Chains A and B, each alone.
Chain A
Amino acid sequence: MTNVPGPSSGSPVRPARVRAAGWGWRHAPRTRWALRGLDFEIDPGERVLLLGASGSGKSTVLQALAGVLGGSEEGESAGELLIDQRPASDSQGRVGLVLQDPDSQVILERVGDDVAFGCENLGVPREEIWPRVRHALAEVGLDVALDRSTAQLSGGQKQRLALAGVLAMRPGLLLLDEPTANLDPAGVAEVRDAVARVLESTGATLVVVEHRVDVWLPLVDRVIVLSPDGALLADGAPEDVLQSRGEELAELGVWVPGHPHAVAPRVSAPGTRVLGTRDLTVGRSVAFAANGFERRMPDLGFLEGTSTAITGPNGSGKSTLGLTLAGLLPPIAGTASARGTLRDGASEHPIDWRSRELLTRIGTVFQEPEHQFLRSTVREELAVGPRALKLSSAEIAARIDELLQRLRLDALADANPFTLSGGEKRRLSVATILATRPRVLVLDEPTFGQDSRTWAELLGLLGELVDEGKAIIAMTHDRRFVDTFADREVRL
């Protein structure tokens, strides 16, 4: 066991130096190296934006720097990865890591305990822990009581809590792995501003992974780019790299300012009204969420061949409205009713339809694709809906093959849906819905956390569907999505 000294009492933060020399990593079951031959040096106090395509190993670099990649049973490493001359796997306390998913990094029940957790693990004396906790919370601007329940915080607050937990450990190297990908615009600003304040006061070294470049550009002084096969592609000042490699980066899915992805113009003409609400109040019972709620909605109508974006802050009831329109949640009051081609002989209210009747009428794409996966291969997953419709096996095979090709999933037909990347999961969840050709599509945050390439593909695909005469209803925070794609915006 190595003797790692705990941070001494009241020590100011000492920014860390990072050095990679021919470093590489291979995940245990794979034969291909995820990363190889990485050479770079990051000076104390430098602020680096790490870019690359999905799957290029950006997160792996961060996890390795944080010393949480695991030992030889998790994979094999090559070369050296050092933090202040010491192997990264052996640098507890020098490095703090904030991850993407706000829900999965809240560790304890109360705000104060959660922030104190890292200090306790580093052996910080008790009388020093609480001043550190209060200081860290103040620094990230999280002004809540120490015994406040962590479950009641918003996404942006949870990310700032995670940041505070890391800060209390006084790390010299701060690692952020897409910390704002799952947040609404207000949350993104909260977290980015908190990080800016922290860097200002501590001078810590920063490495941030994020494909939304514009969020972090004002804060960083260097950009490192990984190629899709895990090697170093570019390294330099942000202006230089974005200027010389902008086109290439945009191709990789990085959101480079000034390099928008082309989305084909739409040609649809609005058709007849297929779905509408009257005096609708949506809500969730107490059993559903920790605290049930009710929201009164404006009267809405949806036409064939149109796209509607439903926007509004967190808690305005967007998701709940979506689930209600989709015939999945019963209205608390008022009605959501189908008519014309959508109703097609079924009852007036979607909530009264049988599950099988929903399939050809309204398709729902959930915010978390994983909630809607049912089978162990992509092909089987796509067959679920058509089988429920009792289509012939020839018809089912034809539909699946078409979708696999159209959504670039053909190489993954036998893969397990849960092992796909974020973008692939999103495409699959849309494909499963298209397999039964519903007339209305309801999508909850379809572009959340997607890189620019998947984003453009998704918009292209949805555009084709609208042109075919489908009605699309999307709950979203994504301004670009609303501006590029929506025929109409409903603000809640």
Chain B
Amino acid sequence: MTHPFSRINPVAKLGAALLLAACLVLTVDWVSAGTALLLELAAFPFLGIRARRFWLRTLPVWVAAPLTGITILLYGRPSGTIYWEWFAVRISDGSLELALATMLRVVAIGLPAVVLFITVDATDLADGLAQVWRLPSRFVLGALAAFRLVGLFANDWRYLELARRARGVGDAGRIRRIPGQVFALLVLAIRRGSKLAVAMEARGFGGPIPRTWARESRFEMGEWATLIAGLMVGMIAIAAAVGTGHWNFIVG
């Protein structure tokens, strides 16, 4: 059973995430980021993503946000009361506030980006990019087909590693072997890629005939609603910041 949200055109999801991000990077303050985050958390349960999957996929965001926060807390431009000082490290009112704002911002931009994309299928995205956004089909389909090879590369990589042990050069440190192995993988990748290109060309890819699409990539009510929702969250966040006087335009 598929959740209705997973059927929304991926380009709409991509667009919504971009619109929201565009609103939030205009300012660095904790009110706008916090507002956006609250709205997002309220919306997520309705998108049909299981809790386990949600936490697993968004883990990088939860790790990255506090790290960014701590860095800014220690090294951000100081202002107001200084609480603690040690060499270049200064914790002040200003750096505290900036750290909180940045941390919330990373979460508020990162979470929807990840969540919107958990439900995206690469093929559907390519369909959308080529049909809705009118990107050149040669480029989009080439990238899509190449993307599928990545799985094979992971397998190649393991074999390259085993082969090095078998050939007697596996005792040197793992790190030292990486450049050679990357090069070998590159050689294999180019060979696989050119074989794939022949197979695609043999099926008429890149020919003179205008291409049709087996599946129509639709952009309808649901897609517009998704875009508007992304923009709304951003706008409400900005309004809250301006209204409470925390708006802090990043340029200037």
User: B195 to A104, Cβ gap below 8 A?
Assistant: yes
A101 to B199, CA, bound (A): 10
A119 pairs with B214, CB closer than 8 A? yes
B195 engages A105 (CB within 8 Å): yes
| A residues less than 8 Å from B211 (CB atoms) | 120-121, 123
Q: Which of B121, B148, B166, B192 contacts A363 (CB 8 A)?
A: B166
Contact string, A365-376, partner B, CB cutoff 8 A, digits 1/0?
010101111100
CB distance from A2 to the nearest CB of B (A): 6
- B207 surroundings in chain A (CB, below 8 A): 4, 92-93, 121-122
| Contact (Cβ within 8 A) A99 B198 | yes
Contact yes or no, B166 A328, CB < 8 A: yes
> Quick one: which of B148, B152, B165, B208 has the most chain A CB within 10 A?
B165
Contacts of B158 in A (CB 8 A): 287-288
Q: Which of A344-381 contact B (CB under 8 A)?
A: 354-356, 358-359, 363-364, 366, 368, 370-374
Closest residue on chain B to residue A362 by CB atoms: B166
B206 CB, nearest partner CB in chain A, Å: 8
In the complex the two chains form, is B204's CB within 8 Å of A169's CB?
A: yes
Please tell me if the beta carbons of B169 and A388 are within 8 angstroms of each other in the complex: yes
Query: Which residues on the B side are within 8 Å of A96 (C-beta)?
Result: 202-203
Is the CB of B210 closer than 8 A to any CB of chain A? yes
Q: Which of A113, A328, A374 contacts B169 (CB 8 A)?
A: A374
Chain B 118-161 interface 0/1 with A at a Cβ cutoff of 8 Å (1 = within): 00011100000000000000000000110010011001101110
B219 lies within 8 A of chain A by Cβ: no
Contact between B212 and A125, CB atoms less than 8 A apart: yes
* A264 interface residue per 8 A CB criterion: no
> B3 in the interface, Cβ–Cβ < 8 Å?
no
Residues from chain B with Cβ under 8 Å of A165 in the complex: 203
CB distance from B65 to the nearest CB of A (A): 27
- From A93, which residue of chain B is reached at the shortest CB distance? B204
B-side binding surface: helix, strand, loop or mixed? Answer: helix
Residues of A within 8 A of B26 (CB): none
Q: Indicate whether A117 reaches chain B with its CB closer than 8 angstroms.
A: yes
CB-CB under 8 A from A122, the residues of chain B are 204, 207, 209
B124 → A minimal CB distance (Å): 10
User: Do A63 and B166 touch across chains, with their CB atoms under 8 A apart?
Assistant: no
A395 on interface, CB distance cutoff 8 Å: no
B31-60 contacts to A (CB < 8 Å): none
Is A118 interfacial (CB 8 A cutoff)?
yes
Whether the pair A68, B208 counts as a contact (CB closer than 8 A) is no
| Complex Cα gap A490–B130 (Å) | 53
Pick the residue among B144, B169, B202, B212 that contacts A129 (CB under 8 A).
B212
Residues of chain A in range 415-436 having any CB-CB distance to chain B below 8 Å: 418, 432, 436
Cβ–Cβ contact A113 & B214, under 8 A = yes
Which of B148, B180, B188, B210 touches A109 (beta carbons < 8 Å)?
A: B148
> Given known contacts A4-B207, A126-B216, is B192 in contact with A104 (CB within 8 Å)?
yes
Kindly state the separation between the CA atoms of A328 and B188 in the bound complex, as whole angstroms. 21
Q: Are A130 and B152 also in contact (CB < 8 A) when A364-B166, A384-B168 are?
A: no
Look across to chain B and name the residue whose beta carbon is closest to the beta carbon of A354: B171
Minimal beta-carbon separation of A438 from chain B (angstroms): 10
Q: Does A45 contact B (CB under 8 A)?
A: no
List B173-228 residues whose CB lies under 8 Å from chain A: 180, 184, 187-188, 191-192, 195-196, 198-216
Q: Is the CB–CB distance between B164 and A355 below 8 Å?
A: yes
CB distance from B133 to the nearest CB of A (A): 18
Q: Which of B145, B151, B188, B209 contacts A370 (CB 8 A)?
A: B188
Q: Which residues of B contact A130 (CB under 8 A)?
A: 214
Cβ-based interface call for A66 (8 A): yes
Q: Which chain A residues numbered 86 to 141 have a C-beta less than 8 Å away from chain B?
A: 92-93, 95-97, 99, 101, 103-110, 112-113, 116-126, 129-130, 133
Quick one: closest B residue to A107, CB to CB? B145
Q: Does A389 contact B (CB under 8 A)?
A: yes
Chain A proximity of B112: nearest CB distance (Å): 25
> Is B163 a contact partner of A372 (Cβ separation < 8 A)?
yes
Contact of A371 among B156, B170, B198 (CB under 8 A): B156
Distance A295 CA – B211 CA, assembled complex (angstroms): 47
In angstroms, how far is the closest chain B Cβ from the Cβ of A473? 14
A289 at the interface (CB under 8 A from B): yes
Query: Given that A124-B212, A355-B170 are contacting pairs, would A328 and B203 also be in contact in the complex, using a CB cutoff of 8 Å?
Result: no
The distance from the CB of A124 to the nearest CB of chain B, in whole angstroms, is 6
Decide: B195 and A101 in contact? CB cutoff 8 A: yes
Let me know if A355 and B165 touch, CB within 8 A. yes
Give the most central of A97, A110, A374: most B CB within 10 Å.
A374
Taking the closest CB of chain B, its distance from the CB of A81, in whole angstroms, is: 16
Q: Report whether A126 and B212 are in contact in the complex, using a CB–CB cutoff of 8 Å.
A: yes
Q: A68-B198, A97-B202, A105-B195 are in contact. Are A4 and B162 (CB under 8 A)?
A: no
> In the complex, are the beta carbons of A374 and B184 less than 8 A apart?
yes
Report chain A residues within 8 Å CB of B199: 97, 99, 104-105, 107, 162
- Interface residue ranges of B92-124 to A (CB < 8 Å): 121-123
Q: Are A366 and B159 in contact (CB under 8 A)?
A: yes
Indicate if the CB atoms of B162 and A323 lie closer than 8 Å.
Answer: yes
Tell whether A1 is near chain B: CB-to-CB under 8 Å: yes
Q: Which residues of A contact B202 (CB under 8 A)?
A: 66-68, 95-97, 99, 166
Within the complex, the shortest CB–CB distance from B186 to chain A, in Å, comes to 12
A–B Cβ pairs within 8 angstroms, 10 of them: A67-B201, A96-B203, A113-B123, A123-B209, A288-B155, A355-B168, A356-B171, A358-B168, A359-B167, A371-B163
Where the two chains meet, the residues of B that have a C-beta atom closer than 8 Å to any C-beta of A are: 121-123, 144-145, 148, 151-152, 155-156, 158-160, 162-171, 180, 184, 187-188, 191-192, 195-196, 198-216
- The 6 lowest CB-CB distance pairs between A and B, nearest first, are A355-B170, A121-B204, A388-B168, A118-B203, A104-B195, A105-B199
A-to-B contact residues, CB < 8 Å: 1-4, 6, 63, 66-68, 92-93, 95-97, 99, 101, 103-110, 112-113, 116-126, 129-130, 133, 150-151, 162, 165-166, 169, 287-290, 323, 326, 328-329, 354-356, 358-359, 363-364, 366, 368, 370-374, 384-385, 388-389, 418, 432, 436
If A121-B211, A129-B212, A364-B166 are given as contacts, then 19 extra A-B residue pairs at C-beta distance below 8 Å, sorted by A number, are: A3-B208, A6-B209, A92-B207, A103-B192, A104-B199, A108-B144, A118-B203, A120-B212, A121-B204, A122-B207, A126-B215, A130-B214, A151-B148, A166-B202, A169-B203, A328-B165, A358-B168, A370-B187, A389-B168
